[in-house]
Structure 1
């Protein structure tokens, strides 16, 4: 009888382990930037990005926030998504665009060490998931963040009022405001891989150095400091180079901790905008995500 009980106990343990493994999943979360577009709370609405049928990482989810209100007021929407899909046995890959980079950096710096209830990855209409066993964990399970045209360093277009100045988000995107909003070096040891585009236009002369029509290299390259600077591709002799990886830039300026330039648009081929079809620098990031977020 003792042998039979032992066999049953081992069988029950194996069943528990197998069911636990089956429940674990990886998710790819896409966090939009300014203007929004997708329905808030609907993780399957990819209208900001492009067709929802397009491959964009394992178990892709669109973390929609309104793209106009302040970072602080909309941050709960992002925390809801991270709680839903990045707690318990589940892990997440995070992709951001433009102001979504500011949003994600703010989230990790201010809440990345807080107690989070483990959720079941099944969301209601408001984008909130139910609890699993009532236990909690510190922060979220995040493998990495990839930032398409990251605006965590702000944009000079906000500084000069090129965008609608009544928008709270535009106020947050002023270079001095964005850079002072939180400690950009506090990422909870999660890497931010930066993708910097350079297909600017004449009117983007407001932006220093290389830019993608909306954000300059000082921001998209994760360059540290209290203000933006002028950074360029190696072919441009008139300003310091933005370096790849984590190395200091030409001239000695550093990048924020756990920020690495994964792509620099040396051919000046990509602009800022997804255009509802995974376009611009978003397309470059999507291709990288498809091959690495599995």
Structure 2
């Protein structure tokens, strides 16, 4: 015998289901460290690299720790674990990266951003991985945008010159020619990379071309394309092409990588590369932007 149901009933059920789904949708702020590391891999509450964990740094902040020592390719599974945990299913992420963390997230999106990912439950185990939520999959990750402080996606001449320990596998990745050939920097899977470039550099100015923050030059922090680094500066420097704001090519016509936009150029030469264990340098500017916009 056919059971009678009001036409309203399916609508009520669907509406409730939608509300339940919305209730479990969560946004997260993922912070990807650079060289030297410091936090425990898989512990998303360990902000040792950045500064006090009590400091506001975007909605539901998570520290995506990797060792900052080994090759990008060897440590990349840790970033994929975090993205699977927090950026699949109904959950979305904002990503912040510092220094070699730029190389790490760029590598991840270019090589794996089009791969099939299982939707996860956002409840990590001790190793930082999460269990499948319902067995379904999706393509890539739900990322709203990427903020980059002092990005090393274009490498650093300090790695070329041997100013950093040559025994570190990561240093070989950070050579300008290697970093720029490590993956397709234009392939961000349509995610915007917003770049903060500091220029309070003095110690290594004879090694780093143009303006620098003592670790990376503007060509890298500004997302300038090409196979090698070149000199880019603030408008006050008459002897060097300007690093332009936004996505426009730099003075002289060199393009930025696709979906890379300079939102801060350190015209006052006030910000260096280092967090100093207290969210300092250009990281401090990115942190404030995450507080304001990663919600």
TM value normalised by structure 1: 0.98
Q: Which whole-Å CA distance do the structure 2 matches of 1:94 and 1:111 have between them?
A: 16
Q: Which deviations, in whole Å up to 9, do the C-alpha atoms of 1:31-66 show, x marking residues without a partner?
A: 000000111000011110011111100010000000
The equivalent residue for 1:99 is 100
> Once the two structures are superposed, what CA deviation does each residue of 1:63-118 show, in whole Å capped at 9, x if it has no partner?
00000000000000000000000000111000000000000000000000000000
Q: Note the alpha carbon deviations across 1:105-151, whole angstroms, 9 max, x for none.
A: 00000000000000011100000011111010000000000100000
CA apart distance, 1:162: 0.4
- In structure 1, the partner of 2:210 is 209
SS in 2 for 1:177: helix
Residue 162 of structure 2 aligns with which residue?
A: 161
| 2:115 paired with 1:117 | no
* Aligned partners of 1:109 and 1:183 also within 8 Å: yes
List alignment gaps of at least 5 residues for structure 1.
none
Residue 142 (structure 1) aligns with: 143
Shift of 1:261: 0.3
The question of whether the paired residues in 2 share the 8 Å contact of 1:117 and 1:135 is answered with yes
Match of residue 223 from structure 1: 224
Q: Residues of 1 paired with 2:4 and 2:60: CA distance?
A: 43
After TM superposition, give the deviation of residue 12 of structure 1 in Å: 2.5
Equivalent residue runs for 1:1-294 within 5 Å: 5-294=6-295
Instruction: Check the 8 A contact 1:204/1:214 in 2, yes or no.
Output: no
CA distance in 1, matches of 2:90, 2:44: 20
Match of 2:204, SS?
Answer: helix
Q: What is the SS of the residue equivalent to 2:121?
A: strand
Q: What is the CA–CA distance in structure 1 between the aligned matches of 2:81 and 2:130, rounded to whole Å?
A: 8
CA–CA separation in structure 1 for the residues paired with 2:242 and 2:3: 72
Q: Which moved more, 1:200-209 or 1:47-56?
A: 200-209
3-state SS, counterpart of residue 122 of structure 2: strand
Q: Distance in 1 between matches of 2:32 and 2:205?
A: 25
Give distance in 2, aligned partners of 1:166 and 1:251.
37
Structure 2: distance between partners of 1:215 and 1:164:
16
Distance (whole Å) between structure 2 residues aligned to residue 89 and residue 168 of structure 1: 37
Name the CA distance, whole Å, in 2 between partners of 1:191 and 1:167: 30
Query: Secondary structure in 1 aligned to 2:62?
Result: strand
Residue deviations 1:2-29 (CA, integer Å, cap 9, x gap) = 7765444333322211110000011000
Task: Give the count of matched residue pairs.
Answer: 294
Gaps of 5+ in 2: none
CA distance in 1, matches of 2:216, 2:22: 42
